[in-house]
Chains A and B, each alone.
Chain A
């Protein structure tokens, strides 16, 4: 066992100093009936042994470096510049707690303030918090804010929504017994059905939630009309933050709250987490926001300083009346995103967004040429994902692709029965021409008549 416990050797001396003889005396308050004297777990091992064991276990994984990866559906295989880990790997950052003592935590506070500023810039909103757990809990908290703010119980969400997000939303809002209605998408272009939205919004609507790009990767310009249709309801939008480098900020078409999954901005996939929940909104909702907020102020000598603000919204002060129960969040992922955006800069961010869009477009065109495939299934521009109609079962296709060293897309049939044999493909800047050619070659083998 590795020694992380320096006082093991001083046990007797310390016990003596406090008038005790045996360590067991310190646990005399545990009822005998339930006291145990050991855990039924293997003994501790050396660092070298553990490292070897872990390499062996993790060696059973195949990574996106080993297989060409075309899967997304909310988590994306992006390139992360080396600067990110160089900074998040600094122990002064990663071994610190929530900055409760601002005087000794200025570094983390300023980094988070910069993160908030960058997200505010990207989304066009006035304020952003210092992070939520992930995109789905950020969405759920946004709906909660809207319900609290308006006192109303009708909520409109898109039918084209990842089932996992919907499930999280239902869990978070269960207490309110909301009336959640789903707005359909147009069969031809995948955009939200505006006529239906008009029918759904009424005086009792708390908020309208839409996504852009939507779950199918479609760039949905119908969203610019949502503000007017939503009337007094809050307009909540879910974004892929990377796309905002080349798209209007949601503020410009009237969004009240912007949420999203920030993993794309400098955080690894790590088998699904940790991720980064983005939450930004107009200033008028700031006192109703969930999560940590960092503000700028001065110290007693007049120097610029940062600290957590509006803590009276939070659980450790307000207890059951808090805006949310969130305490630990994803601060280090937010720092990663700040470093990522700083490293790429405005131009770099725009470049990576454009590369994503271009590569996805090119690949969908190539797939569309293959007999039996249709890509993209929906008309119009997409961001970095698109739906492909397949001539065979998606799961069968994926098994075949895997034999060729390719991780195929996300099968849609289970959640969108109407789409039948179809699959959501994602393409990022990491997709090489070789990867794309490999996929095309493999798909050709599986085309109709083969």
Chain B
């Protein structure tokens, strides 16, 4: 196969990216060189600790100078890739730019040094931010009430499932089934199962929910249908209104997985589409950074008929004062301590102020434009399952490369050499050798062109180079199978292994 060569002009993909490559010992392996630290007012007298509880075995923790600690972690950070390093088109993760002003506001003492149980008079600022963020999310999601308590998307799903359960119980019904399409995020079935539901998976038809399959799955046992729209193929479920009607006719609820909201803001609202419960991923759509795995925030919004089941407390406003209301007898209670990841909420609030309603709409428009632009440019080179428009993301199939012995995993690793993060791979499962690409609205055309060029070039590279990639990262291909076999999960386990091998 002789694909046309990629771009050679200014938007050509190049291999000049080199990630820092240090041999950094574990912090436990660094030499101890610490004198007495002076972080605190050191005046104290020894207290009596119950004899049965007093520590006798000294802790094996590092004893280092401050500079040693800073150098260690600074070097580690240089061996890590973030949005601020380069393009991060990880599908369904919405790795958009995280505005710096959001970090600054979240670091103010008025944000950080506030205890959640302080007197309400002293937390009016925090409560106002929560109250107004809830209102804004209601407008964006087309829902009536929002709770900011859940810590992450999956936590929001779990909260939503508890609400589904409470709703049916309150109606005197015992509905135990959650229906999911085969394109659903893995957290959906896991969250529903954690809330005690059985999972019914239905197939897709041409990349969308199969209406006939849905009809036959729906019954008086159906508690809810969980749906991601646009779905994980990036395709908008065009029959959503019919789907909602079918679900509601059976007395079931419709749940919206908000991971993919970035392609819809200002264009359609989940609530208007018929969804009863919606979760938002503030660390995706609303630009709060993902922190290498969290913290995120996964607020949950509902239609008014479900309001009474939301977690406590609610944040209310009356007579010029904000307050926390715990008196909701039908509430499911708590899904975490306190009120939610406030430090994350405040960043999303700042982002919403900066963008405004008009900016959010533009964000979705350009996110969708970028995604369709990339799909159209790449469809000559890679298989694109299912015709038609995409929203914020699209899925390619790497099957064409199989004849060269190159798998999607290899393409993903080779992209790292070009200085990009890899797309989400092998998901959704119904696409063979899937590459799920989400450019977001914050990426420039030039950067996307470079990424497209890299994907084209990889097809024509010496397969042995691609299959042994990456070469320009901190380490080369990692032996993940070996890691699972050996299971060295701590410094202590590593020491024990070293001792074993050193023994004659």
Contact = CB atoms under 8 A, between A and B. Distances in A.
B499 interface: no
B361 interface: yes
Contact of A272 (B44, B85, B339): B339
Interface in A402-422: 402, 407, 410
Contact of A339 (B37, B69, B269, B291): B69
Contacts of B43: 355
Contacts of B424: 100
A297 B480 CA distance: 7
B146 interface: no
A195 interface: no
7 nearest A-B residue pairs (beta carbon): A272-B338, A175-B196, A331-B293, A44-B356, A332-B291, A107-B80, A41-B357
B45 A358 contact: yes
B98 A38 contact: no
Interface stretch (B8-16, B186-194, B300-308): B186-194
A53 B19 contact: no
A159 interface: no
Contact of A247 (B28, B55, B79, B112): B55
Contacts of B103: 89, 94
A38 B116 contact: no
A96 B37 contact: no
Contact of A15 (B195, B272, B369, B416): B369
Interface in A168-198: 168, 170-172, 174-176
Interface in A15-45: 15, 17-20, 23, 26-31, 33-45
A83 B179 CA distance: 48
30 contacts: A4-B355, A6-B443, A18-B376, A29-B235, A29-B388, A37-B266, A40-B139, A41-B136, A43-B359, A58-B126, A69-B118, A91-B83, A93-B82, A93-B292, A94-B289, A105-B292, A133-B155, A295-B487, A296-B494, A299-B475, A299-B476, A303-B476, A315-B154, A319-B186, A327-B187, A335-B73, A345-B61, A355-B40, A357-B49, A358-B45
B330 to A, nearest CB: 14
A154 to B, nearest CB: 19
Given A108-B292, A171-B335, A381 B483 contact: no
Nearest to A335: B292
Given A92-B77, A407-B122, 18 more contacts: A5-B442, A34-B240, A34-B241, A36-B266, A50-B354, A75-B117, A93-B82, A97-B88, A105-B81, A126-B490, A137-B336, A212-B53, A271-B114, A272-B342, A286-B489, A300-B468, A300-B478, A322-B193
Contacts of A112: 292-293
Contacts of A93: 77, 80, 82, 291-292
Contacts of A167: 333-334
Interface in A145-178: 162, 164-165, 167-168, 170-172, 174-176
Interface size class of A (residues with CB under 8 A): 35 or more
A309 interface: yes
A78 B165 CA distance: 39
B473 A307 contact: no
Contact of A57 (B84, B129, B445): B129
A6 B53 contact: no
